[in-house]
A and B are shown apart, each in its own frame.
Chain A
Amino acid sequence: MSGLSATLYTAGAALRAHQLGVQTAGANVANAATPGYSARQVILAANPQNGALSGVTVVSVSRKDEPFLRASSIRANVQNGYASARADLLSQMEGVLAPVDGSRVEHALESFFSSASALASDPSSVAARQTVLTQARAIAVAFNSTAADISALSSQVDARLSSATTHASDLARQLAELNQRVGSSAPSPDQPSSLLDERDRVAKELAGIVGGDVLTDKDGNVNIIALGTSIVAGKEALSLSTARNATSGKLDVVVTGYGKESAVVTARATQGEIGGLISVRDRDLMAQTNALDALAFDVQTAVNGVHQAGVGLDGASGRALFAGASSKAGAAAALRVDPTTAQSPRYVTAASSATTLPGDNRAALALAALYTQPAASSGTATFAEAERSRAGSVASAAQNANTDRDDAVAQSDLTASLLSSATGVSTDEEMIQLAQFQRAYQASAKVIATVNEMLDTLVKL
C-alpha cells in the first residue's frame, strides 16, 4: 500500500492508538485513589510494515510492575502484621496491667500493710482489726480482678485469632481462585491487569496475616508458604480455622488440607498478625499470669505464716488470713479471705501470745514488717518490688513492641511509597499524557482531513 490510501490507513491507526491512550489515562485517573492499583501504560511502536514511512501501532497496554519492590512491600507487611498485632495488644495490656499511677494489687498491698501498722498502734481495737480484714478482702479482689483481666485479654486475643484465621482462609481461597482466573484468562495484548492487581493485593494482605513467603512459580501462580506448609499452591488453598485446645483452653490454629486432613500449626505461627497474636497470648500474657500467681501465692503464704502464729482477740491462734490455691498455679484467681477468719474481726491476730492480750501487738508488727521484707520471688524481692517488676515487664514489652511496630510501619510505608512511586498513578502525569494523546489524536484527524481534501482535488481533475 502506498500513496494517499496508505496515509489514510496510517492516520486511522494513529487515531485508534491515541484514542486508546486517552482511554488508558482515563482509567488511570479513575483509579488514582484505588489501593493496590498499578498504573497502565500504552506501549506504542512505529509500525514496521510501512517501511520508511511507518505508522504507529499499539504494542500493548501494560501494567506497571516492579517485582522486587512488590516482594519487599509484602515482606514489610509480614513484619508489620506481626509487630502491629503485638503493639496493639500490649498497649491494651499496659493500660490494664501497668497503669501509670500504680496497679490495683500494689495499692491493695499498701493499704493492707498500712492497716496492719495501724493495728499495731492500737492492738486492742476491734475497728482496726475490721480494717485489716477489709483490706485483706481488697487484696483478694485486686488479685482476682487482675487475673480476670489477664483472662479477658487472653479471650480477646483468641477472638482476634479466630477472626484472623477466618479472614486468612477467605483470602487463601480468593488467591487460589485468582491464580486460576489469571491462568485461564484469554491471551490478549493486555495482561489481565485487574486480576493481577487484585491478586497482589490479596497476597499481600494474606501474608500480613499468616506471614511466610510469597513465591511465584513457573506457571505464574502466586503461592504462599507459611505456618510450615503451602497455604496456597497454585489453584489450591488450605483452609484455616481455630479449635479449642482441651488442655490449655486456648484456641489453636488448624489448617485443613486438600484431602481434608487437619493439623495444628500453632507452634509454627511465628509471623504475621497470627504470629503476633499468639506470641502475646502464649508469651506475654502467660508471663503475667505466672508472675501474678507467684506473687499471690507468696502473699498468701507469708501473711498466713505470720497470722497463724499470732493470736486473735479471742485468744485462739492458728487461723489463716487468706485461703486459696495450694500451689502457685491459679493462686491469683483463687485468693480469698479465709472463711473462718472472715466471720469476726476479733479473729484477726495482733498478739503473739494469749497471755498478753489485748495490748500485745507483736504479731501485727510482724505483719506490717512483711511489706519491707524480701518475702516474694523466692526471697529476693519485697511484695511491692515483685509487683512493680511485673508491671514493669508489661511496660518494657509494650515499649519494645511499639519500637518494633514503628520500625515495621516505617519500613512498610517506605516500601509502599517506593512501589507506589514506581507503579502508582500520578494525576499530573496522566493529565500530561491526556493532553499529549488528545493533541496527537487531533493531529491524526487533521491528516485524514488533509488527505480527504487531496483526494477531492484529485477526483475533480
Chain B
Amino acid sequence: MRTTDLDAASTRLRLLEQARARVDRAQTVAASGLKNVKGSDDPAWLELNSRTRSDGLMNDRSRKSLAAASTRLEATESALSSVSDLFARLQEIAVQGGTDTYAANDRRVLANEVRSLKSQALAAANAQSNGQFIFGGFRTNSPPFDASGNFLGDNNVMQVDAGSGKTAAAGIDSTSVFTPAGGVAIFSVFDAVATALDTNDGPAIRASLDSVQKSIEQVVDGRGAVGDAMNLVQRFSDWLDDSDLRLSAARAASVDADPLSAYTDLAQASNALDAALKTAAQATKLSLIDYL
C-alpha cells in the first residue's frame, strides 16, 4: 500500500499516544494498588470494589457496637460477680448465725455485717458503664435501685447493632435477677436475714437459708445470661473477623492489583514507549531527499 507523509506521521503519532497512555495506566495501577484505573475499565469490578470497601466499613461499625456491648456486659458480669460473692458471704453468715451456739450479741454483729453486705450489693446493682446504669433496663440515667432495694427500672434489654441487620444483647433483664419476677426479691433477703439475726431468732435465720440459696441461684442464672450474651457478642465478633478475611481475599483476588504484575506491566510499558520513541525518531529521519 502506498504510504503518504501525512499517513506516516499520523501513524507515528497514534502509536506514541498509545504507548504513552499505556505507561500512564500502568503507573496509576502500580501507584494505587487497584487493578483498574476507572470504573469503565470494568463496571463489575467497580461494584465489587465499592461493595467490599463498604462491607469492610460496616464490619468496623458493627465491631464498635459489639465492643461497646462487650464493655457493658463485662461491667454487668463484674457487678453480678460482686453480688454473687456477697450472697456467698450472706450464706456463710446465715449458716454461722443459725447455729444455736451463737449468742444474741454475736448475731447482732453478724446482722450489722449483713446490712453492710446489702449496701454493697445495692452499690453493685447500681453499677454504671460508660455513665449508664446497667441494671435499669432503658432507664439508664438514674440508679435502678433505691436505698431500700426497690426496683425503679424496667425489664428492657438493650440491643446493639451486630451487622447485617442482626442485633446482640448488651445486657440482661435485671428484673429476673433482682426482683420477684425472678422468684425472690434478693435485697429483701438481706433484710430478712438481718432482722432474724437482730431478733436472735434461730429458726428464722435457718429458714432464710432457702431464700438465700434461691437468691444465689437467681444471680447465678443472671451471670449465665450474661455469659450467653457475651458468647453471642464473641460469635458475632468472630463472624466479623471471618467476614473481613473473606473480604480481604475477595479484594486480593479481584479488586487489588497484583504488585508483581503491576510493576512488570509498568516496566513493559516503559520499554514499549522507549521503543516507540526511538522508532518514531528513526522513521522521521528516513527520506529520499537525503539520498538525492
Binding site for B on A (CB under 8 A): 32-33, 35, 90-91, 94-95, 98-102, 106, 110, 113-114, 117-118, 120-124, 351, 356-362, 365, 368-369, 371-373, 384, 388, 391-392, 394-396, 398-399, 401-402, 413, 416-417, 420-422, 424-429, 431-432, 435
A100 touches B49 (CB 8 A): yes
Q: Which residues, 1 to 57 on B, are CB-close (under 8 Å) to A? A: 1-7, 9-11, 14, 32, 34, 36-43, 46-47, 49-51, 53-54, 57
How extensive is the interface on chain B, given as a class?
35 or more
Q: Which 6 A-B pairs have the closest CB atoms?
A: A395-B39, A424-B4, A359-B140, A398-B40, A356-B138, A359-B138
**Does any Cβ of A come within 8 Å of B123's Cβ?**
no
A435 vs chain B, min Cβ distance (A): 7
B144 vs chain A, min Cβ distance (A): 10
B9 touches A33 (CB 8 A): yes
A122 touches B43 (CB 8 A): no
**Does any Cβ of A come within 8 Å of B61's Cβ?**
yes
Query: Which of B9, B34, B38, B158 touches A94 (beta carbons < 8 Å)?
Result: B38
Tell me, in angstroms, the Cα distance from A362 to B138 when the chains sit together. Answer: 10
Q: Which residues, 159 to 188 on B, are CB-close (under 8 Å) to A? A: 159-161, 164-165, 167, 170
Tell me, in angstroms, the Cα distance from A123 to B164 when the chains sit together. Answer: 20
With A102-B50, A413-B10: A91-B161 Cβ-Cβ less than 8 Å: no
B116 vs chain A, min Cβ distance (A): 30
Task: Please indicate the chain A residues that have their CB under 8 angstroms from the CB of B280 in the complex.
Answer: none
User: Looking across the interface, which residue of chain A has its beta carbon closest to that of B154?
Assistant: A356
User: Looking across the interface, which residue of chain A has its beta carbon closest to that of B292?
Assistant: A431
Show 6 residue pairs from A and B whose CB-CB distance is below 8 angstroms, ordered by the A residue.
A94-B40, A118-B65, A121-B170, A359-B137, A372-B165, A395-B46
With A121-B160, A122-B68, A124-B140: A425-B34 Cβ-Cβ less than 8 Å: no
B43 touches A435 (CB 8 A): no
With A33-B5, A100-B36: A117-B140 Cβ-Cβ less than 8 Å: no
B25 vs chain A, min Cβ distance (A): 13
User: Looking across the interface, which residue of chain B has its beta carbon closest to that of A36?
Assistant: B6
**Does any Cβ of A come within 8 Å of B268's Cβ?**
no
A124 touches B132 (CB 8 A): yes
B64 touches A118 (CB 8 A): yes
**Does any Cβ of A come within 8 Å of B260's Cβ?**
no
With A359-B132, A427-B288: A98-B140 Cβ-Cβ less than 8 Å: no
User: Looking across the interface, which residue of chain A has its beta carbon closest to that of B286?
Assistant: A428
With A100-B34, A121-B160: A114-B57 Cβ-Cβ less than 8 Å: yes
With A395-B39, A427-B288, A427-B289: A384-B57 Cβ-Cβ less than 8 Å: no
Given A365-B161, A399-B42, A420-B7, 8 other A-B contacts at CB below 8 A?
A100-B37, A102-B54, A110-B54, A117-B62, A356-B139, A359-B156, A398-B38, A424-B4
Q: Which residues, 115 to 140 on B, are CB-close (under 8 Å) to A? A: 130-132, 136-140
Tell me, in angstroms, the Cα distance from A351 to B121 when the chains sit together. Answer: 30
Tell me, in angstroms, the Cα distance from A300 to B284 when the chains sit together. Answer: 63
Tell me, in angstroms, the Cα distance from A94 to B38 when the chains sit together. Answer: 8
Task: Please indicate the chain B residues that have their CB under 8 angstroms from the CB of A371 in the complex.
Answer: 58
**Does any Cβ of A come within 8 Å of B101's Cβ?**
no
B208 vs chain A, min Cβ distance (A): 34
Query: Which of B2, B39, B136, B154 touches A392 (beta carbons < 8 Å)?
Result: B39
With A369-B165, A398-B39, A426-B5: A110-B57 Cβ-Cβ less than 8 Å: yes
Tell me, in angstroms, the Cα distance from A122 to B14 when the chains sit together. Answer: 61
A358 touches B7 (CB 8 A): no
**Does any Cβ of A come within 8 Å of B287's Cβ?**
yes
B2 touches A421 (CB 8 A): yes
B5 touches A388 (CB 8 A): no
A392 touches B47 (CB 8 A): yes
Tell me, in angstroms, the Cα distance from A90 to B39 when the chains sit together. Answer: 11
**Does any Cβ of A come within 8 Å of B83's Cβ?**
no
User: Looking across the interface, which residue of chain A has its beta carbon closest to that of B5?
Assistant: A32
With A114-B61, A121-B64: A431-B138 Cβ-Cβ less than 8 Å: no
Tell me, in angstroms, the Cα distance from A361 to B132 when the chains sit together. Answer: 13
B50-87 vs A, CB cutoff 8 Å, 1 = contact: the mask equals: 11011001100110110011000000000000000000
**Does any Cβ of A come within 8 Å of B141's Cβ?**
yes
Tell me, in angstroms, the Cα distance from A294 to B68 when the chains sit together. Answer: 35
B6 touches A420 (CB 8 A): yes
With A359-B136, A427-B289, A428-B288: A392-B7 Cβ-Cβ less than 8 Å: no
Tell me, in angstroms, the Cα distance from A373 to B165 when the chains sit together. Answer: 8
With A101-B53, A369-B161: A396-B43 Cβ-Cβ less than 8 Å: yes
A102 touches B53 (CB 8 A): yes
A426 touches B62 (CB 8 A): no
B73 vs chain A, min Cβ distance (A): 12
Query: Which of B1, B9, B54 touches A106 (beta carbons < 8 Å)?
Result: B54
B290 vs chain A, min Cβ distance (A): 10
A121 touches B161 (CB 8 A): yes
Task: Please indicate the chain A residues that have their CB under 8 angstroms from the CB of B32 in the complex.
Answer: 100
A174 vs chain B, min Cβ distance (A): 22
Task: Please indicate the chain A residues that have their CB under 8 angstroms from the CB of B2 in the complex.
Answer: 421-422, 426, 429
User: Looking across the interface, which residue of chain B has its beta carbon closest to that of A402?
Assistant: B40
Tell me, in angstroms, the Cα distance from A394 to B41 when the chains sit together. Answer: 12
A358 touches B6 (CB 8 A): no
B131 vs chain A, min Cβ distance (A): 8
With A358-B140, A413-B14: A424-B292 Cβ-Cβ less than 8 Å: no
Tell me, in angstroms, the Cα distance from A357 to B57 when the chains sit together. Answer: 30
User: Looking across the interface, which residue of chain A has its beta carbon closest to that of B14?
Assistant: A413
A439 vs chain B, min Cβ distance (A): 12
Task: Please indicate the chain B residues that have their CB under 8 angstroms from the CB of A373 in the complex.
Answer: 165
